[in-house]
Amino acid sequence: MSDDLSLRGKRAVVTGASRGIGRAIALALAEAGADVAVSARTKSELDELAEMIHAMGRRAIAVACDVTDPQQVAVHLAGGVLGEFGGIDILVNNAGASGSAKFVGHPDELWHRMLAMNMTSVYYVSKAFAPAMIAQRSGRIITIASIAARVGAKYIAAYTAAKHGALGLVRALAVELLPYNITVNAICPGYVDTPMTQANIANMVQRTGMSEQQARESLERMSPQQRLITPEEVARVAVFLAQDAAASITGQAINVDGGAIMS
């Protein structure tokens, strides 16, 4: 692997890494040569993932952390990772959650939870790790957003607002951190074949009376390719953005959605 494609010697952090997209990204970064710190709320799943990364010959750290809690982010996550790795080269903000409700009568709790999980957590984690990247004058910040960061859709007002906010933060940081050779980008997947999407399917079944197969097919039809995206497809884009070859790409929102949103 050429030097501008290899991540050998790089140190990465992936939030929301215990399953789905985050897990795929953590493994892909390790496969490309990076040492990887993985974070989520469930420690047992993180330990298993860390063992898999160790088996690839990479260093791995498993850190249980609630990324909506700034104290946990600053002390447990950033403090633990920087203490162990001595620095950070790649940050992947993947932690997030979905939820839906009609806007009329929309639960305030859902609004606050969606913003906390999908937008404010990106702020907390990026803020915690940016100083280390600034000090070394290099870094990659990659936020997993959604096509909901690009367009609106019914019943997901809070989720859409949060993802739009996360993308706005990505663009602002891309400008502010540019002098330090830090790139900041977003990946905007469509529906991905993950436990989160399976939970969405179960919710559709409960609310509409559709069968599980019908609900899944309705999500598949949202893509011109008539399928769900795989976590590995998103992970490959993240790995590319983390490489030296992507040094000129910053402030971008890269859709991985089978052509659903062409802008």
What tens digit of pLDDT does each residue of 152-174 get?
989 999 999 999 999 999 999 99
Instruction: At 148, list the tokens.
Output: 């909901």
Q: What angle do CA 226, 19, 158 make, to 5 degrees?
A: 70
Diameter of the chain by CA atoms? 55
Instruction: At 204, list the tokens.
Output: 């559709």
DSSP 229: B
Between CA 263 and CA 259 the distance in angstroms is 9
Residues 204, 210: contact at Cβ < 8 Å? yes
Between CA 195 and CA 193 the distance in angstroms is 7
Closest residue by Cα to residue 25 from 9, 12, 42, 41: 12
Of the listed ranges 104-113, 119-128, 139-148, 208-217, the one predicted with least confidence = 208-217
In sequence order, what are the residues at sequence separation of 6 or more whose Cβ sits closer than 8 angstroms to the Cβ of residue 33? 1, 6, 7, 8, 9, 10, 58
Q: Are strands 182-189 and 253-256 parallel, antiparallel or unpaired?
A: parallel
Instruction: At 6, list the tokens.
Output: 């290899």
DSSP 137: T
DSSP 93: E
Residues 22, 63: contact at Cβ < 8 Å? no
In the predicted model, what is the mean pLDDT of the chain? 94
Among all residues, which ones are annotated catalytic?
159
What is the model's pTM?
A: 0.93
> What is the four-CA torsion angle of 251, 257, 262, 263, rounded to 10 degrees?
-20
Question: Is the pLDDT at 4 greater than 70, yes or no?
Answer: no
What is the average per-residue pLDDT within 119-128?
Answer: 98
Q: Is 113 exposed, middle or buried (0-12, 13-18, 19+ CB in 10 A)?
A: middle
Between CA 6 and CA 23 the distance in angstroms is 20
Give pairs for 42-50: CB < 8 Å, separation 24+: 42/18, 45/18, 45/19, 46/17, 46/18, 49/17, 49/18, 49/23
pLDDT of residue 216: 82
Percent of the chain with pLDDT over 90: 78
pLDDT of residue 1: 55
What is the average per-residue pLDDT within 107-128?
Answer: 98
For residue 241, what are the CA distances in angstroms to 85, 244, 250, 252, 253? 21, 8, 9, 10, 11
The secondary element (H helix, E strand) that includes residue 237 is: helix 231-242
Residue appearing with tokens 């002390």: 75
pLDDT of residue 22: 97
